[in-house]
Structure 1
Amino acid sequence: MGNSIVYDKAKYHDETVMNSGLPEERASVHTAFFLGWLIENDLCSDEFEYESSDLINKYKSQAKTAIDVYEWWDRCLMGEMLSEEANAFASDYFDFDKGKYISDYSELLVKKLPSEFHVPYTWENQKIISQRVSRRYIEWKKRNSKRFWEFWK
């Protein structure tokens, strides 16, 4: 695996979650939702799929959650886990400084909760955020697709 980008680690959020009196799992929820969307859309790297094939199948049958998959990968989302196209999308959309993921997450799931860490992982929440991420992905693909006359670029 060659891509050394680290998109997020739950440990970055552990102290905030602990100080809020929330379960440790909540440090993983926002990123696990994104990982779940990647799995649902077959946008993970071949090596990730090979290493996680059993967990991926269990996630897709809802026998395991995206939290379970994220925890198996040491609560870390890295570029090497994503396909090339998924990395390009994540670099734009999932970037916490310039991307729209956290604002979408807040709009759809945080609402009146005290923080993004108060959102529980549920299949319904996974579905809600996955629908928005899919829409953003389609928009991103349209913005980044080459015109037929630009085939040489």
Structure 2
Amino acid sequence: MTKYDDASWHYSGDFPAELDKKNGATHTGMFINWCVTNNFHSEELMEDHQNECESLKRREITGADFVIDALDGKFSEYDLIEMGNAFAKDYYVDETDFSDKFSSFATDYINIFDSIAEENDYEYETFYHIEDTYENYDVMKQIIDHRFQEWKEYKNLN
């Protein structure tokens, strides 16, 4: 089984003490939000967490809320269908052939939010200080949409 991410990997260690543990799942939440919204979630995920999935799609909860509350902080291959897993294994996971050629999710996440912060004469103290908002999700969604199109071309799926 491939475990893509676990919030506990982030909030243990040198995680900023002033932040809520949920901040360790903000980035993962944005990716899984995109997956659920695009119906790349597994049947098991929908069966086990239908109400939460529907709340996520209606934007009543954020992706980080979903990861922490529904998935106990963990994101794995069990959460996605075959296409979603194929994309996650190439894009969400660092240091893949795809990410070497294009980019990885983490690199895109850091670069876009650092760029936005810089435009506003601001600097994020850490990766974990990026706010868990739908405004930020909408920015990241555009990047993921773009990478997904590149990935489909890369895999000759068009």
If the length of structure 1 is used for normalisation, what is the TM-score? 0.87
Q: Measure how far apart 1:23 and its partner are.
A: 1.7
Q: Measure how far apart 1:107 and its partner are.
A: 1.2
Q: Which residue of 2 aligns with 1:79?
A: 77
2:10 is the alignment partner of 1:6:
no
What percent of counterpart residues are identical?
24
Aligned length: 144
Q: Which residue of 2 aligns with 1:33?
A: 30
2:137 is the alignment partner of 1:126:
yes
Q: Which residue of 1 aligns with 2:91?
A: 93
| Amino acid across the alignment from 1:101 | F
After superposition, the CA RMSD in angstroms is 1.7
Secondary structure (helix, strand or coil) at the match of 1:57 reads helix
The superposition leaves residues 50-75 of structure 1 with CA deviations (integer Å, 9 ceiling, x where unpaired) of 21111111111111221221111110
Q: Measure how far apart 1:96 and its partner are.
A: 2.8
Q: Structure 1 CA distance, aligned partners of 2:79 and 2:157?
A: 26
Q: Which runs of 5+ in 2 are unaligned?
A: 116-122
Q: Which runs of 5+ in 1 are unaligned?
A: 148-153
If the length of structure 2 is used for normalisation, what is the TM-score? 0.84
Runs of 4+ in 1 over 6 A off after TM superposition: none
Q: Structure 2 CA distance, aligned partners of 1:40 and 1:55?
A: 12
| Amino acid across the alignment from 2:77 | G
Q: Which residue of 2 aligns with 1:151?
A: none
- C-alpha change, 1:35 and 1:17, in structure 2 (3 Å) is farther
Q: Single out whichever of 14-23 and 63-72 deviates more from structure 2.
A: 14-23
